[in-house]
Structure 1
């Protein structure tokens, strides 16, 4: 009778071991990699009051892979981490560069809002290991009393807490408002 009780448990254990052996953790390099997934724009209607002008919100989506999963930071960023990033290029754990088309040539438009950017720790409280997924970054472009629509594209790169930088990803072009 004991044998009849043990056999179903052994069968379940055998199936569980078989299924768990089918999953192999990805083997990505410790330097993060990025790829362009998409760009989406939506318009936010003007509200009432100061600073409530009509604006376009542009969402940039990139895919990422990282072998040791050390992407992102605690938010707010600890002073020591902030200083380490500042000493190594002066930008945070991701960088967005904006380029607009002027006279048939893309020209970089340096924006203070993009000077030092951080996204949160993607694996907080989880064991070290390979990760992959997508991250959305948002940019806001305000319609002023006088504006012009410019074809615009972005370049994005990310870096991990070990300061390993990903490749640069370039987005498709989208038209957004700039002050005239």
Structure 2
């Protein structure tokens, strides 16, 4: 009877060791790579008072892979890091460009709010190595007293602390409010 209880234990232990020995750390490039995962929009009802008009919240999700895991920065960003990013393109570690369809042509909106964006260090306190995962970006689009819904899409790229720039991904198109 006792032998019958011990055999499944050793079988399970053997399978676990076999599976664990099969895992190899991924071999990703040290230049980050991104892919588009999805875009989701939900409407927030208007509230009472000034500045509480109806608005759309847009969440864009991208996937990432990086060979050395040096994605993200300490927040708040140190002055030296901020200056280094500014001297190398004038954008942070997350770049999102907004395009809306006007006269059957996508036109880029001036980068006002999204000029310099940063996301936090994704490996803080962890050993250096390959990482992968996803990042969500949220932005609000407000319905004003006079607005129009435009088909809108985004282009996104990221860069690591070594200033290696990822590929650019483009989202699907969604309708968003813009003031007239």
1:172 is matched with 172
Residues 10-19 or 48-57, more deviating: 10-19
Gaps of 5+ in 1: 1-9
With over 3 angstroms needed to count, the CA separation of the structure-2 counterparts of 1:54 and 1:12, relative to structure 1, is closer
TM-score (norm 2): 0.90
Name the SS for the 1:112 alignment partner: coil
Q: How many residues align?
A: 172
With over 3 angstroms needed to count, the CA separation of the structure-2 counterparts of 1:102 and 1:12, relative to structure 1, is closer
1:76 is matched with 76
Alignment of 1:47-58 (within 5 A): 47-58=47-58
Q: Does 1:163 align with 2:158?
A: no
1:20: how far off? 2.4
1:90 is matched with 90
2:22 is matched with 22
Q: What is the root-mean-square deviation in Å for CA atoms of aligned residues?
A: 1.7
Deviations 1:92-129 (A, max 9, x none): 00100000000000000013110000001111111000
The list of structure 1 runs, each at least 4 consecutive aligned residues, that deviate by more than 4 angstroms after superposition, is 10-17
Name the SS for the 1:121 alignment partner: coil
1:118 is matched with 118
Whole-Å Cα distance in 2 between the matches of residues 11 and 59 of structure 1? 46
Gaps of 5+ in 2: 1-9
